[in-house]
Amino acid sequence: MAGNAPVFSVKVVDPNAFLLQLTDVEQAQIQITLRDANGATLHTETLKQNRVDQRKYDIKELPAGNYSLIVTYDAVIKIQPIKKGFDTLEIDAVDLQTVFQPVIRQNSAHLYLDMLCLSEDVEISLAIKDAEGRVIYDEVVQPKGALQKRFNLSRLGKGTYTFTVGVVDTVLIKEFNKTIEWSPTISSL
DSSP class of 186:
P
Helix (H) or strand (E) holding 163: strand 159-168
Q: What is the mean pLDDT of the chain?
A: 83
Q: Which residue has the higher pLDDT, 84 or 120?
A: 84
Domain annotation covers residue 187 = no
Domain annotation covers residue 189 = no
Strand, helix or coil for residue 93: helix
How many angstroms separate the CA atoms of 99 and 142, rounded?
A: 12
Closest CA relative to residue 109, chosen from 186, 7, 20: 186
How many angstroms separate the CA atoms of 4 and 168, rounded?
A: 29
80 lies in the same domain as 106? no
Q: Is the pTM of this model over 0.85?
A: no
Number of domains observed in the structure of the chain: 2
88 lies in the same domain as 144? no
Domain that holds residue 173: 102-182
Strand, helix or coil for residue 107: strand
Residue 2: predicted pLDDT: 52
83 lies in the same domain as 139? no
Closest CA relative to residue 19, chosen from 66, 72, 89, 74: 89
Tens digit of each residue's pLDDT (9 = 90 or more) over 74-105:
888 888 999 999 999 999 988 888 888 888 88
The domain that contains 16 carries what CATH number?
A: 2.60.40.3080
Own/partner pairs for 4-7, CB < 8 Å, 24+ apart? Answer: 6/73, 6/74, 6/76
Tens digit of each residue's pLDDT (9 = 90 or more) over 39-60:
889 999 998 876 777 899 999 9
Domain annotation covers residue 175 = yes
Side chain identity, residue 65 = G
Domain annotation covers residue 1 = no
